[in-house]
Amino acid sequence: MSELLIGVVAFLLTLFVFSYLIGDNPLFRATIYIFVGVSAGYVFALVWQSVLVPHLAQPMLFGTGDEKIRAYFALFLVILLLMKAIPPLSKLGTPSVALMVGVGAAIAIVGAVQGTIFPQTLSAINTFDFQSGNPQGASGGIQFLESILMLIGTISTLVYFQFTAKRGDDGKNHRNIITNILAIVGKVFIAITFGVLFAGVFSAALTALIERLDFLFTFIFS
């Protein structure tokens, strides 16, 4: 009975979402509100179990002296951050926001350098390592072409985001012909990348749509 009830609710919610195809309506809005509420409740439960209890409540009650100091300091910053919701006291939350922005920026920069720039550079360099293949054979030729394409794509994309230029006699900024050509090639690589990303997003959305349609047909005819 419980499985049947869950199936009926899921079936109705799916229909309510698809009802947006005929226009905005109360059923669709009610379904969105349910999804938002469930998501907010899930996030709160996850934060409570994974962050607040183990990293705040337990150290404050059962932790060592250093752990209690860190926990109370974190609680103080949280209280200051909540002051942002009160206009007369909003300035009190500035230190917490500044700390969050600074830490977030540092993590983002380190993540970009270690997770993107260095691996991308090493990948572009390693593509010219032909020791694992036969550079005289077909595989070596294909690998060499892939290496050249990756190198051209990396350099041209970086040049596309290079905005410095020499100011001419007419008062306008001019880049040399080689830089312009590389920027155009980089623009092509960027467009291809965005196209691939869009295709991936569209494929994921289409997969979700097929799964929902399959659920509807299975629930109706089973």
Span 69-87, pLDDT tens digits: 999 999 999 999 999 889 8
State the Cα–Cα distance between residues 35 and 152, nearest whole angstrom.
45
Does 110 fall in a domain?
no
pLDDT tens sequence across 84-127 = 889 888 899 999 999 999 999 999 999 888 888 788 777 777 76
Does 75 fall in a domain?
no
Picking from 12, 41, 62, the residue at the C-terminal end of a domain is 62
Picking from 36, 62, 88, the residue at the C-terminal end of a domain is 62
Its pTM stands at 0.59
Does 73 fall in a domain?
no
Does 121 fall in a domain?
no
- In the chain, the percentage of residues whose pLDDT exceeds 70 is 87
Number of domains in the chain: 2
Does 217 fall in a domain?
yes
User: H/E element holding 166?
Assistant: strand 166-167
Write out the residue range of the structural domain in which residue 180 sits. Answer: 141-222
Does 88 fall in a domain?
no
For the chain, the average pLDDT equals 85
State the Cα–Cα distance between residues 148 and 153, nearest whole angstrom.
8
Does 58 fall in a domain?
yes
| 8-state DSSP, 26 | H
Picking from 33, 62, 91, the residue at the C-terminal end of a domain is 62
Does 115 fall in a domain?
no
